[in-house]
Amino acid sequence: MFNSIRPRSKIHYIELAYTLAKKDLKVRYKTASLGFVWAILNPLLMMVVLTAIFSMFIRIKTDVPYSIFVLTGLIPWTFFNLSLSSCTNSIIDNSNLIKKVYFPREIIPISIVFANFINFSLSIIILFLFLFLFSIKITYLLLFLPAIIVVQLTFTIGISLLTSSLNVYYRDIRYIVEATLLMWFYITPVFYPVTMVPERFKAYYFLNPMAGIISSYRDTLLSGKVPDIYILAETASLSLIILFIGYCVFKKIEPVFADLI
């Protein structure tokens, strides 16, 4: 399939990224009867479970129906979680392609992020449907949404470049990432509001870029207020730093990929 692809320009690289993203989606859902529906079902099923636990038993209070509150956190988290877990082993999984054809290797993890971004986009459409059904007003603040998405893409690509390259050297990285994502979920405001975090810890809490990203989504879509510009700027800065580090590490290790895999 890929033997005929010999990219020599940016257009060819974009075409290759598109081909890899499409292949990733096809492989992922090829044997599933519901196909792409699972991209939407996963966060919805998790929403039902978390709503049952945290609104009925623990009774976390939110300004909007808890199901909508938690779905607004689950959708970006699922995008990040799936992207990072899939990307970490992506260089090793594509060893045959790497050995056969030359192209910038970063296209592999980036294409996986964008494959997951398609799922994310479908989930966002479902979220808007829920907002309509629950009579949650969409305001001009929706204009902030593209900026928040760009910040999340920047962070997700950056950390994916880092883990996918390090995993070539240290095969334990994929297992460390899996364990870290489990803990990361609980220190990110997916199922609880940021107001529950003690004020004295918030400066450290928002060093987690996903905390700032999910808070900004909620401010924009649910709270009817401008996202905290300081937090969004801090999150964007951290995301750019992660992207820079991830890219530098990736390009440093890239020349020996073929030898190590």
Residue 157 has which token pair? 């690509």
Instruction: Write down the pLDDT at residue 1.
Output: 42
Tens of pLDDT, residue by residue over 60-104, are 888 899 999 999 999 999 999 999 999 999 999 988 888 888 888
| Contacts of 41 by beta carbon, 8 Å cutoff, 6+ apart | 34
Number of H helices, E strands in the chain: 12, 0
Is the Cα dihedral 23, 24, 27, 28 positive or negative? negative
- Torsion, Cα of 170, 160, 87, 17 (10° steps): -130
Q: Which of 38, 213, 17, 40 is nearest to 115 (CA)?
A: 17
pLDDT for 193 beyond 80: yes
The answer to whether 155 touches 117, Cβ cutoff 8 Å, is no
Tens of pLDDT, residue by residue over 217-253, are 999 999 888 999 999 999 999 999 999 999 999 999 9
Instruction: Write down the pLDDT at residue 208.
Output: 98
Q: Please give the Cα distance from 39 to 160 (Å, whole number).
A: 20
Instruction: Write down the pLDDT at residue 70.
Output: 94
The tokens 């870029």 sit on which residue?
209
Residue 228 has which token pair? 């905290």
Tens of pLDDT, residue by residue over 42-66, are 788 888 888 888 877 777 888 899 9
How far is CA 157 from each of CA 88, 200, 246, 250, rounded to the nearest angstrom? Answer: 11, 31, 8, 11
Q: Please give the Cα distance from 44 to 192 (Å, whole number).
A: 17
Instruction: Write down the pLDDT at residue 35.
Output: 59
| Amino acid type, 95 | S
Instruction: Write down the pLDDT at residue 2.
Output: 44
The answer to whether 72 touches 127, Cβ cutoff 8 Å, is yes
pLDDT for 182 beyond 90: yes
pLDDT for 3 beyond 50: no
Name the band, by pLDDT with cuts 50, 70 and 90, for residue 5.
Answer: very low
Contacts 24+ apart (CB under 8 A), 54-62: 54/191, 54/192, 60/191, 60/192, 60/193, 60/196, 62/193
Q: What is the maximal distance between C-alpha atoms in the chain?
A: 58
Task: Say what the pTM is.
Answer: 0.89
Q: Please give the Cα distance from 232 to 236 (Å, whole number).
A: 6
Tens of pLDDT, residue by residue over 22-33, are 887 777 766 666
| Amino acid type, 168 | V
Tens of pLDDT, residue by residue over 142-166, are 999 999 999 999 999 999 999 999 9
Taking residues 116-122, report their average pLDDT: 93
